[in-house]
Amino acid sequence: MLSNKAIDMLEYNGYSFKTNGNQILFKKAGTDQMGLIIVMIFTAIVIGIFFAIQWWAGLGALVVAFLIFRPLVKRIPGSLKLAIEPGTRKLELNNRSMAFSFEDIKGIYIHSKFVDEYSSAFKSTSEEHQVTIGLEAQNQIPLFKLISDHAKPSKEMNEVYDYLKSIISPEKASSAA
């Protein structure tokens, strides 16, 4: 089982973790996406008003909105529903759009990628890294996209990685941090 700190880290990144009977369930909340969509709709209305007043003001607002929203859209990791059934040795991703037998999975990977720099008094570094935990099947399938202050995955992130590795394929897992 995962520790409370690992579950808190998942929740901080927008994921929930549940076990019920013989199924392990991870879900990604869509609140980040919904909030961004609402702000983008509001921005589109404002840009439309600018276009109605002066076409060049609308064009300028459109360029500024594009420059603001492009990096934000790239950072939102999308939705996830991962159901693991250790008893039947099956894994379902996003309501059966992808289903795998444990034998089809070559391994589990963890990878860290530098995303951006910022300044904050509340963080231990000025860097932001995206730590991805995923499956190696026919190709690499990302499962979790987590935010970190350091290039090296945290203890809690490694705990989630080790947990998945122990359930799915203890002898086949690989690490590329």
Cβ pair 9, 157 in contact under 8 A: yes
What's the rounded Cα separation, in Å, for the pair 108 and 74? Answer: 24
How confident is the model over 126-169, as pLDDT tens digits?
788 889 999 888 888 888 888 888 889 999 999 999 999 999 86
What's the rounded Cα separation, in Å, for the pair 26 and 62? Answer: 37
Residue 145: φ, ψ to 5°: -120, 110
Side chain identity at residue 81, one-letter code: K
pTM: 0.68
What's the rounded Cα separation, in Å, for the pair 66 and 145? Answer: 24
Chain centroid, CA 12 distance in Å = 11
Cβ pair 81, 97 in contact under 8 A: no
How confident is the model over 56-94, as pLDDT tens digits?
999 999 999 999 888 777 666 556 788 999 888 898 888
Cβ pair 79, 28 in contact under 8 A: yes
